[in-house]
Structures are given as structure tokens and as C-alpha cells.
Amino acid sequence: MSDIKKVVLAYSGGLDTSVIAKWLQQTYGCEVVTFTADIGQGEEVEPARAKARAMGIQEIYIEDLREEFVRDYVFPMFRANTIYEGEYLLGTSIARPLIAKRLIEIANETGADAISHGATGKGNDQVRFELGAYALKPGVKVIAPWREWELNSREKLMAYCEQHDIPVDFSSKKKKSPYSMDANLLHISYEGGILEDPWAEAEEDMWRWSVSPEAAPDKPEYVDVTYAGGDIVAVNGKTMSPAEVLAELNRLGGQHGIGRLDIVENRYVGMKSRGCYETPGGTIMLRAHRAIESITLDRESAHLKDSIMPKYAELIYNGYWWSPERLAMQKLIDVTQECVNGEVRLKLYKGNVIVVGRRSDDSLFDASIATFDDDAGAYDQKDAEGFIKLNALRLRIAARAGRKLS
């Protein structure tokens, strides 16, 4: 007899998690609580309620977490200008700590013994969910069916559904995308299918959120974004909530073919994986944030942020959002954002985000010093001679000592 009496399952209502709900009931003889989060995946989440009820599930949580997702996870990440391995904007990675947090909170509310998720034993998400869960509730039991069962193919999952009368739309079998997809308000990802061949170009009809750059409008579109404390608070002069900002930038970027990415990344578990991503709003946000920082941050603050960003990105990718080192880095990053206020003007054109203007009441750009015209004595060019000689001193000493340069 299992000592697990109640499990909180991260439940999408799709094939995998519907099978997991029934499998948990049968394997552990336990009560299942389902949790479905709306984080902007673009699909109706309410049908998950009917599917859960059809399996006899009594406690069903369906929550709109879009604002919390962008405000407390996406925006803090973008204050650091975060990219993983030089390209990836971490759209899947940044959603996992929020889901893990709510799984634990619901487990506490319902008196559950365990949580469960549908991540496979090959990917990063199992690590992200579980590291987050253990950080927030050290003694929690985690059930990962993909590491336990033998239902390792879509055909076996469908057969299980038929055998146990699980309410899944079997007609969807023919319509199912050949790709494994994950979507939220920041991005949509694609893996599997022909993408498992890193030489094969992604099919055009795979992309959901953006037109191809070739099909984008021939006329550029100008967009103004307003920053306060490092976060965008308005688009084209209209004040918006965090989720509204990202949704609007997704719309604008998608129209202009912005945000497509095709990469081979290094998963935390050790393997390489080829994936394609659409992150139109995030691509705009990254470019705009660096532009406003270019006039509001001093040099050493900006360079310090750039130096720690790869580590910060790695922590998020690997699932350490709730780690003390990420939290410490976030405090440093957030302090630098106090004067990151102002406006950035962007030109969107055929897959490109082009910065054409930036202004701020907190700007450190001093035209009277930087000008190529007469600066009226604001900067004494003779000072540069001593500056250069002092900085060259160690190089001159080494050269005189006969040190080789190659």
C-alpha cells in the first residue's frame, strides 16, 4: 500500500498529463489534485476542468498567472539582458519556477504528500521543476511518471487512454503537430520531428507567431517603449501592465518576422538538443533594454552586469531560480536598474529590431563632452596623455624586461 495519499499534478489537459492523472490513481491508489496554469500559452485552459472531472478528480485548480509570470519572472530576467549560450532567451526555462512554486503552494493548501509533472527523463524541465520544489519544500515527494512507467511512445499512451476510457480527443491524432511544442507569453518552442536532424531547415508552416522576414511588410514600423526602473511600462505612449506589454510586443514583432531562432543547445543533463524558438516580444525587449541602459548606466555597472549575465543565464536554464546565488545576483542587478528610466525608439523591419533613438532624464550622455565640435573646455584633451602613459606603464616595463608578446 502506497504511503502517498494525495498528489498535486501539473496538468495541461493534454494526452500526457491525462494519462498521468489516471496512472497516478491506479499506481499509487491516491487522490489527484490538478493544477493548470494560464501563462499565455494561447490555448483555452478551461477545458482541462471537464477532463479532470471526467476522471473523478475533485480538487481542480485553474489559474491565470500571466501577470505574475511577466512581472515576477520575465521582467527580472530581462533586467539582466539574459541570454543562454549567446542566443536563447530562456522562454521555457523561466516559466518553470512559477509552476513549481504554485505546485508546492497547492500541496500545502490541500495537504498533499507529493507533486507530479509530465517532464521526460531526457530533458531539462524535470530538473527545473524538482529543484524548485525541493528548494521550497525540502521533504516533498516528487513523482515523475516518465522515469517510472513503460508508456514510452504516443501509440502506447493512446492505447492506455482507450483501455481506461480517458477523455482524449482521438481525432486529434491525425492533426497533431509533428513537433513537441511548449508555449507561454514569452515564447513558443519546437523540438522533435525533422528538427532532430540539425542540417534540416525548419518548415515554414511550423512557425505559429510570426511571418517569415521575407513575407513581412516592406515598410518599417516605429515603436516607442517607456522604461521605469528597468521595466517597460508603456508602448507607444500607452501605459500597460507587464503581461499587456509583452502581448503587444509579441503582436508587433510577429508582424515583422522578428524573434525566430534555430539553435543546438547544451542541455543540463548532458546531451545536445536542436530546437526552434519564436520570441518576438522578448527579442524587442532585449534590444530596447540594452539601448536604455547605454545612456543610464555607468560603464563599470554595465560591464559588471555583462560579466555575471552568463552565470545568471546558466542558473535559470539549469533550474536554480530559487538558489541563494541567483537571488543574490538579482539584488545586484535590481540595484543597477534604479535609474534605468526613459524611452527607446525602435524600427521594426523584416526580422530586424533597429534602435534609432533613446532619451532619459537620468541620462549620463553629455553632449558637451562627447561632441566633435568645440567643447568650450569641457574636456581637456591634454589629460589623455598622462592617462595613456599610466595605463601603459606595466606594458612598457614588461617590454623593457624582454618579455615576449607571442
The CATH classification number of 6-68+93-176 equals: 3.40.50.620
Q: Where is 342: in which H helix or E strand?
A: strand 342-349
19-47 pLDDT, tens digit per residue, is: 999 999 999 999 999 999 999 998 888 88
Which residues lie closer than 8 Å to 14 by C-beta, 6 or more apart? Answer: none
pLDDT at 174: 45
205 catalytic, yes or no? no
**Do 6-68+93-176 and 182-297+339-359 share a fold?**
no
Average pLDDT over residues 98-121: 97
383 catalytic, yes or no? no
pLDDT band at 13 (very low <50, low <70, confident <90, very high): confident
Catalytic residue, candidates 38, 113, 125, 231: 125
Average pLDDT over residues 329-356: 98
pLDDT band at 286 (very low <50, low <70, confident <90, very high): very high
Catalytic residue, candidates 16, 38, 113, 231: 16
124-180 pLDDT, tens digit per residue, is: 999 999 999 999 999 999 999 999 998 888 889 999 998 988 877 644 444 567 888
pLDDT at 172: 47
Distance from C-alpha of 212 to C-alpha of 193, rounded to nearest angstrom: 20
Domain 182-297+339-359 indexed as CATH 3.40.50.300: no
Distance from C-alpha of 126 to C-alpha of 122, rounded to nearest angstrom: 8
Q: Who has greater pLDDT, 391 or 13?
A: 391
pLDDT at 43: 85
Domain ranges of the chain: 6-68+93-176, 182-297+339-359
Cα–Cα nearest to 144, from 162, 164, 126, 168: 126
12 catalytic, yes or no? no
Average pLDDT over residues 291-297: 98
High-pLDDT (> 70) share of the chain, %: 98
Catalytic residue, candidates 49, 71, 180, 262: 180
- Cα separation values, 126 from 25, 111, 165, 194, 226, Å: 21, 23, 28, 24, 37
In this prediction the pTM is 0.94
50-77 pLDDT, tens digit per residue, is: 999 988 999 999 999 999 999 999 999 9
Distance from C-alpha of 116 to C-alpha of 129, rounded to nearest angstrom: 9
197-224 pLDDT, tens digit per residue, is: 999 999 999 999 999 999 999 999 999 9
pLDDT at 176: 62
Q: What is the largest CA-CA distance in the chain?
A: 86
96 catalytic, yes or no? yes
Catalytic residue, candidates 66, 79, 96, 128: 96
Distance from C-alpha of 299 to C-alpha of 147, rounded to nearest angstrom: 48
169-198 pLDDT, tens digit per residue, is: 644 444 567 888 999 999 999 999 999 999
- Cα separation values, 125 from 120, 184, 201, 340, Å: 8, 14, 25, 33
